[in-house]
């Protein structure tokens, strides 16, 4: 029982980290559908740097690549005001493709010094609390939420809408990058193409399920973690084909979206901000 709970938390940690990252930018009004690709490329960067310079620097590299990709997405969604959904999907394809291409030489190489999973789990929990405080208790959080709800009003009050959105995408990207680093440095200390296995999409769905609240995301992530744990436990011991288990996270996302499709999203979510229009 205790083992089950621990595994649930460890399975849920990458989902939690990635979903906090997506949540942060969505509260500022920017949809990030690139999570899956950002996670994959961060995982690769973390692994590659960890091989050369140790796991601590590797984790930093993962966060750095995540932030870079978040800001890169911002160039299109914030400055150019392009379609956020299409831009996110393009970043997802780009990240998955680039990681598969550049990661070929690391395939099957074990990591010499993995990081402890529990450390990441505690960090993720701490970050969720910090994000809760940041959003609801700080001035930056107030700006961020106002930008996500009513950017025009925020702009009139002197808030730099584009700046706040870039900040949210950068910080959020860093969290997504940390999720990637957790996968390749601690959870499965190695690199394989497609190792994110749909967790990024689960994370995006969790943001909606958690109604854009960091603390609810914690419970949601651990609940998903428990389901994944049960999936691994049951696999092989019940007469259900393994493909059905592999398809489960994706089915779960569809169910979650259908059950919580009409929860209240930030008002300006997905809408580019154009001054004077």
Partner 1 sequence: MRWELDPNPSPGKVALTYGLFLALTLLALGVLFWAYGVSPLKAYGLLLSPLGDSLGLAEVARRTIPLLLIGSGLALAFRVGFFNIGAEGQLLMGAVGAAYVALFLPSGPWTLVLMFLVGGGLGAFWVGMAAWLRVRFGASEILTTLMQNYLAYYLVVYLVAGPWKGQFVFGFLYTDRFPQEAQLPRLGDTLVHGPTLLLGVLAAVALHLLLFRTPLGFEWRVLGENPQVARYLGLKGGQLLLLAGALSGLLSGFAGVGEVAGIHLRLLEPAQISLGYGFTAILAAWLARGRPLLVLLTAPLLGLILAGGDALKLSLSMPFRVVDVVAGLLLLALIGAEAASRHRLVWRR
Q: Which residues bind partner 1 (CB under 8 A)?
A: 33, 37, 75-76, 79-83, 85-87, 89-98, 100-102, 104, 193, 198, 201, 204-205, 241, 243-244, 246-247, 250-251, 253-254, 257-259, 261-262, 274-277
Residue with Cβ nearer partner 1 (79 or 138): 79
- CB closer to partner 1, 215 vs 251: 251
Q: How far apart are CA 233 and CA 242, in angstroms?
A: 12
Alpha carbon dihedral 138, 142, 148, 151, in 10-degree steps, equals -140
Tell me whether residue 86 or residue 129 sits nearer to partner 1 (CB atom).
86
- Give the nearer residue to partner 1 in terms of CB position, either 98 or 230: 98
Least CB distance from residue 137 to partner 1, whole Å? 30
Q: Which residue has the tokens 């609240």?
A: 213
**What distance in Å separates the CA atoms of residue 85 and residue 70, rounded to the nearest whole number?**
14
Q: What's the CA gap between 116 and 100, in Å, rounded?
A: 26
Task: Measure CA 184 to chain center.
Answer: 15
CB of 173 to partner 1, least distance (A): 16
Nearer to partner 1, 147 or 186 (CB): 147
Residue whose CB is less far from partner 1, 136 or 257:
257
- Residue 115 CB, shortest distance to partner 1, in Å, is 26
In the complex, the smallest distance separating the C-beta of residue 22 from partner 1, rounded to whole angstroms, is 12
Residue 141's Cβ-count burial label (10 Å; 0-12, 13-18, 19+) is: middle
> Least CB distance from residue 273 to partner 1, whole Å?
12
**Residue 190 to residue 110: CA distance in whole angstroms:** 5
Alpha-helix residue ranges (DSSP H) falling in the chain: 2-27, 35-53, 55-74, 84-102, 117-137, 139-149, 151-156, 161-182, 199-209, 214-234, 242-259
Residue 223: both structure tokens together? 């609940």
Q: Compute the least distance from the CB of residue 216 to partner 1, in Å.
A: 19
């Amino acid at each position: 029982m205790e083992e089950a709970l621990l595994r649930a938390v460890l399975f849920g940690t990458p989902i939690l980290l990635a979903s906090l990252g997506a949540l942060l930018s969505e509260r500022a009004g920017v949809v990030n559908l690139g999570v899956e690709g950002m996670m994959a490329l961060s995982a690769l960067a973390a692994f590659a740097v960890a091989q050369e310079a140790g796991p601590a620097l590797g984790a930093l590299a993962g966060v750095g690549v995540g932030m870079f990709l978040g800001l890169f997405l911002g160039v299109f969604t914030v400055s150019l005001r392009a379609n956020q959904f299409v831009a996110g999907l393009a970043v997802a394809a780009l990240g998955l493709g680039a990681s598969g291409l550049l990661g070929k030489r690391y395939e099957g190489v074990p990591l010499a010094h993995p990081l402890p999973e529990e450390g990441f789990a505690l960090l993720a929990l701490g970050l969720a609390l910090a994000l809760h405080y940041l959003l609801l208790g700080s001035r930056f959080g107030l700006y961020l939420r106002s930008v996500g709800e009513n950017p025009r009003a925020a702009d009139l009050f002197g808030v730099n809408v584009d700046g706040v959105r870039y900040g949210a995408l950068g910080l959020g990207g860093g969290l997504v990058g940390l999720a990637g680093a957790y996968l390749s440095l601690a959870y499965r200390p190695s690199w394989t193409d497609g190792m994110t296995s749909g967790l990024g999409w689960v994370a995006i769905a969790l943001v909606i399920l958690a109604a854009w609240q960091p603390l609810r995301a914690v419970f949601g992530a651990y609940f998903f973690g428990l389901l994944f744990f049960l999936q691994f436990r049951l696999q092989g011991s019940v007469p259900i084909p393994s493909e059905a288990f592999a398809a489960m996270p994706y089915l779960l996302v569809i169910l979650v979206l259908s059950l919580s499709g009409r929860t209240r999203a930030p008002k300006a979510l997905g809408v580019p901000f154009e001054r004077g229009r």
